[in-house]
Amino acid sequence: MVPGFEFDQLIPINREGIASTFIPPMQHEDALALVAGSYCLHVNAIMPDTLRKVRVIPSVIKEDETTTWMVKGAYFFTLIQTSHGTKVYDHSNDCLFYANPNVEISRECPEGHAFLVQTVIDKEGDNHVPRLLVMDLVQPVIESPKQRGEIIRNMSRFFSHICHVQWAGDKRHLENFLRKGLPHEVDCIVALREPLCLVREGGSEQTLLDALNIMA
């Protein structure tokens, strides 16, 4: 458990006829306390393309596209590696912060890399463990989602113990992976196309903040 986080209430979820229990998603103030410290005012030193909210685009997801999942009730942040340590961009309130030491990226990570992450609370036995899932590479800009995934996996040693690289693959394999069960509730499958753009089937175009407001 991360100090300061206590989660006791369980919600029964029935997934494909199997009874499971998940806790409610963390509130935004809890998510912010997990990842961020004080406000960062040195915006000029930050790569401008990293300070953008993710868009969720409705479209058909092809079977061979690189896909992953959105956690139900997750909050999204961008971890940005700079010459002065890790900064955190909060997609929900469009603000920049210094990173909480819990999520600091190793200084061995090259400057100029930025990673999209989402919050999750995993149920492990009787424990409820807050984590960040590293979902995609934001900077440097690389067109191929598969190549971005390979870079993230190769850089996993730079992430803190709270950050876990999220599985991604083609739709069929992802669906098989999800059927095995996860320690948290899944909202939907999304395809990774260009950075900071997620594609889901159905619905209308929205930012992640819009999506969170709809789910609330």
Q: pLDDT 10s per residue in the chain (216 long)? A: 333 333 233 233 333 433 345 667 789 999 999 999 999 988 767 778 899 999 999 999 998 899 999 999 999 999 999 988 999 999 999 999 999 999 999 999 999 999 999 999 988 777 888 999 999 999 999 999 999 999 999 999 999 999 999 999 988 888 888 888 788 888 899 999 999 999 998 655 555 545 444 444
Residue 183 is predicted with a pLDDT of 80
Residue 92 is predicted with a pLDDT of 94
11-215 under CATH 3.40.50, yes or no: no
Q: What pTM, to 2 d.p., does this model score? A: 0.83
Largest CA distance in the chain: 52
Which segments of the chain does DSSP mark as H helices, in order? 28-35, 145-154, 171-179, 208-215
Q: In Å, how far are 21, 72, 76, 77, 79 from 209, measured between CA atoms?
A: 26, 13, 9, 11, 17
Residue 206 is predicted with a pLDDT of 54
Instruction: Look at residues 119, 12, 109 and name the one whose alpha carbon lies nearest to residue 70.
Output: 119
Residue 178 is predicted with a pLDDT of 84
